[in-house]
Amino acid sequence: MKIIVVCPRSGGKLEIDEYGGYLLCPDYNLVCTGTILCNNMFDCVDKKSELKNDTYNYDYKIKTSQNIEKANIEYADNETNYELSEDGKCPLNCKQCLENKKCIKCREDFEFVFMKNEEEIVCLQKDELETGYYTNNSVYYKCMDFCEKCKNGISCDKCIDDYVYLSNSCLRIIQNCESYSSNGECKKCNENYAFDEEKKDECIKKEEFNEFYYTKDNGESYYLCNGEGENHIQNCNKCSYNSNNEIKLECNECQNDFVILDNETNKCISKEKINEKEYFYINLTHMKKCSNNIIHCNECDNEEECIKCEKDFYFINNETKKCYNISEIIPINDYYLDENNISYYSCNDSNFNSIENCKECNEKDSCYLCKDNYTFINGNKSKCYEISELGEKYIVDPNDESN
């Protein structure tokens, strides 16, 4: 019984079911591929490829091709080549390949194509090579990217649709672009067009950038106010790029529930994080801190005027630029506290109490005790009368000043 055995390219021991022992196959890459690339071991012998300089010892003599019966290798599909490939598979449409997957023979109706890196070889059908490839000595090479027709790999006769040949490259045509850079980006848009931030692959009509955008380069690019990063302010609707003493991006209007503090115009602060009592609204979107000159102020209406003092501190006669501790309002009976518990008013000041010559009071327009030499008449505490002017018809009760 004749048995045909195909040795793998890498050599090694092969066990044969019908026989005992094993067959030792040579590694014919090491033995006889010093000068000629062979398709298989028999091809190497037929081509009389010279030995490599490396020594490789076997315990038997290699026979000539006349004494070795060639195996009839059938390729069942486009991926099978168990003789040459270590794992039995070659690249797509490759008929024979080396162990490193480098193709050395394409299937019928397929051609070798060297890609950008000439070490990369693929097998493509001939009708695929009509555009985007060129030949040199019957070998196909790929044109530069996005090139439809070329004579070599460093120039292009015709780029594909929507691309133009500039700076030795096929660059995508950018509508409304006035000039290009060497890497294919647009350097400058046509009049009335601008970039969207740093994106140089599109020119957009300036009218499409609404009030929520700003520009810092005379309209060449537009940036969205809201966002993160140095070109944005998070939670900001409207902003501007000012260049007074220093160039600075400032927010003009925050989104809902956010405000701008007077000393942090490049931030939008959540109202929940602000002690609003320490600030006052300049307008609906801006807040300013109360003046440090108003000591013990809890709420302010503007930079120099307080609305409400801290606990146990009050205004006097509604002077909102200073808050007094209750211990400072001496004597306490010279003043009365308003109904809102915010300010003490003087009892003997006609601007705050209509009862003249009143010494002590506990509410507006009502007297508790008249000044010396003044008294009430018949218990009526709405007016203080001078005793010397009352005459003999009134009797002064020493125990009751409401005579």
Taken in order 93, 96, 98, 102, is the CA torsion positive or negative?
negative
Mean pLDDT confidence for 347-367: 82
Among candidate residues 208, 211, 209, the one with its CA nearest the CA of residue 236 = 211
pLDDT of residue 58: 39
Residue 44 dihedral angles phi and psi, to the nearest 5°: -65, -40
Residues with Cβ < 8 Å from 219, sequence gap 6 or more? 194, 206
pLDDT of residue 225: 93
Mean pLDDT confidence for 201-210: 92
- pLDDT category of residue 79 using cuts at 50, 70 and 90: very low
**Residue 300 falls within a domain, yes or no?**
no
pLDDT of residue 161: 92
Work out how many domains the chain is built from and give that number.
Answer: 1
Mean pLDDT confidence for 254-281: 82
pLDDT above 80 for 47: no
- pLDDT category of residue 306 using cuts at 50, 70 and 90: confident
Token duo for residue 32: 């006889």
In angstroms, the CA 347 to CA 342 distance is 16
In angstroms, the CA 137 to CA 343 distance is 103
The DSSP symbol for 240 reads: E
In angstroms, the CA 283 to CA 302 distance is 11
- pLDDT category of residue 244 using cuts at 50, 70 and 90: low
Mean pLDDT confidence for 198-223: 91
pLDDT of residue 137: 79
- pLDDT category of residue 91 using cuts at 50, 70 and 90: confident
Mean of the per-residue pLDDT values for the chain?
77
Instruction: Tally Cβ neighbours within 10 Å of residue 92.
Output: 13
**Residue 46 falls within a domain, yes or no?**
yes
Mean pLDDT confidence for 337-343: 86
pLDDT above 50 for 180: yes
**Residue 50 falls within a domain, yes or no?**
yes
- pLDDT category of residue 63 using cuts at 50, 70 and 90: very low
pTM over the 0.75 mark: no
The top-scoring range by mean pLDDT among 12-21, 117-126, 147-156, 382-391 is 147-156
CA 142 to chain CA mean position, Å: 38
- Residue 6 is part of which domain span? 1-73
pLDDT above 70 for 354: yes
**Residue 345 falls within a domain, yes or no?**
no
**Residue 43 falls within a domain, yes or no?**
yes
**Residue 151 falls within a domain, yes or no?**
no
In angstroms, the CA 271 to CA 254 distance is 11
**Residue 13 falls within a domain, yes or no?**
yes
Lowest mean pLDDT among 56-60, 63-67, 134-138: 63-67
In angstroms, the CA 327 to CA 324 distance is 8
pLDDT of residue 209: 94
- pLDDT category of residue 130 using cuts at 50, 70 and 90: confident
